[in-house]
Structures are given as C-alpha cells and as structure tokens.
Structure 1
Amino acid sequence: MIIEHIAIWTSDLEQMKSFYMRYFGAKCNTKYHNPAKEFESYFLSFASGARIELMQKPQIPERENPKTETLGITHFAFALGSEQKVDELTELMRKEGIQIVGEPRRTGDGYYESVVLDPENNRIELVA
C-alpha cells in the first residue's frame, strides 16, 4: 500500500504551485475547474510517484493561527538524499525569503533535517 496523494487547501493556487515546482521539481497537470462549485485544483507529481493536490475554493476559512501546530497532520517530508542537499536547499530557500523554522540538525531519532514553511505556512521537513 502507498499513500497516493495529500491535499492542501490554499488561498493562492498559483503561488503554491510555483513553490512546489521550483523547490521540489514537481510536475503539474492542467488546472481542473468546476465553476458550479467554485472549485479549482492542480495535481503536482513528483519523481517518486507521490502527489500533492492543491485545492482552492472561496468558502474555505483560514486557520486561526497558521504558525501554531495543532492536532491533525502537522508536516510532510521530502527526502533529498544527503545532508549536503538538505543544507543546500535550506540555504537556497533562506536566500529566496522562505521561512526556515528548524535549522539543519541531527534529530534524536537519527534523522538529519531542517524545517521550512511553504507560502501558506505548511510545515515541510527536508530530510537526508
């Protein structure tokens, strides 16, 4: 069994699409639009086969405090293949104004990771 995709509600579909394409090499399908439901989405595909569905609909409310962790899914991770790649992508993102909320480090359970926020404050771990 594999996880087929995760879905993220977004207020800026195009900005989020660009972020995941720029930093993680996502490939994007054609935008789906359902005017009756005021719904739009993209599926972003990654080399591993994993996908993210970015969804937009005007009735979806903002999180009360997007920078506070709450119950539910708290982050997802991209395995970059090496500590050097974690360091390099973290620094590129920092230089380009992406918020780094966890500096590169070795965790207590043996991972080498950093933590960044996407444009809508979703937590992403960059792991070796």
Structure 2
Amino acid sequence: MKIEHIAIWVQDIDKVCEFYRKYFGGVVHPIYHNPAKQFTSRFVTFESGARLEIMHRPDIDANVGTVTSLTFHVEHSEHLGFAHLSFSVGSKEEVDRLTRQMTDDGIQVIGEPRTTGDGYYESVVLDPEGNRVEITV
C-alpha cells in the first residue's frame, strides 16, 4: 500500500505548481476544470512517484479558511492536522544550497539549516501560500 497523493487547497494554482516544479523538480500536469463545481486542479508528480494535487475553488477563503458555512482560523503557527511536506534532497550540502537559493529568490525561510534533536538535518520554508515545507537529507 502507498499514499497515492496529497491535496492542497490554494488561491493561485500556477504559482504554487511553479514553486514545486522549480525547487523540487516536480512535473506539472495539465489543468483540470469542472465548471459545475467551480473546481480546478493540477497534479504535480515527483521523481519518486509521489504526487501533490494543487486545488482551487472560489468559495474557499484564503484568509480564514472558510468553506461554505464552516469557518476555522488559519495561521502559520502549529495546528491539528497536516503539519508539513518534507522533501529529501540527498545531502546536507543540497539542503544548504537549496535553502540559500530560496532565500535569494525571496522565499520565506522559517527554519535555517540545522540538525534537529531527533537527528534530521533540515531547513523549513513556506510555499507561496504559507504551507510548511521541510528540506532534509
């Protein structure tokens, strides 16, 4: 058994897909649009076979996470549910290089490269819509 894909709601599909293409080598697939449901998505596939589904629907509010009549507050702090995506880039040097490149490109780095208490060498960045992404060996 394997996880088939992970899906993320976003406001700007193209911007988010470009982030995962540019920094993690994802292949961006054609856009899918269902006008009846006002739903649009694109898959991004990675070398390992892992896939992200980047999705948009206009009734999902980026500021407060509103879906129809359900409202919950979204912040960049910790919360219950998915916490982050993690990409293994193969070496400490590549973690450092990619983190520097992202810094130079204006990507928000919220955790500089370091060895964590449980032995991971990683940095943490935010994708264009504030989702946490760990870059690790």
- Please indicate the TM-score interval, normalised by the length of the shorter structure: over 0.9
How many residues align? The count is 128
Which moved further from structure 2: 58-67 or 110-119? Answer: 58-67
Match of 1:95 among 78, 89, 104: 104
CA distance in 2, matches of 1:80, 1:17: 18
- Equivalent in the alignment of 1:74: 83
RMSD: 0.9
Cα shift readout 1:13-71 (whole Å, capped 9, x = no counterpart)? 11111111111111011100001111000000000000000000001123434312211
TM-score, normalization by structure 1:
0.96
CA distance in 2, matches of 1:120, 1:28: 17
Cα shift readout 1:94-126 (whole Å, capped 9, x = no counterpart)? 000000000100011111000000000000000
In structure 2, runs of 5+ residues without a counterpart are 66-72
SS in 2 for 1:30: coil
In structure 1, runs of 5+ residues without a counterpart are none
> 1:107-118 to 2 correspondence within 5 Å?
107-118=116-127
Q: Which has the higher contact order (CA 8 A, sep 6+)?
A: 1
CA distance in 2, matches of 1:35, 1:66: 30
Q: Which amino acid aligns with 2:37?
A: K
Cα offset for 1:91? 0.2
> What is the identity percentage for the equivalent residue pairs of Structure 1 and Structure 2?
53
TM-score, normalization by structure 2:
0.90
Q: Which amino acid aligns with 1:60?
A: I
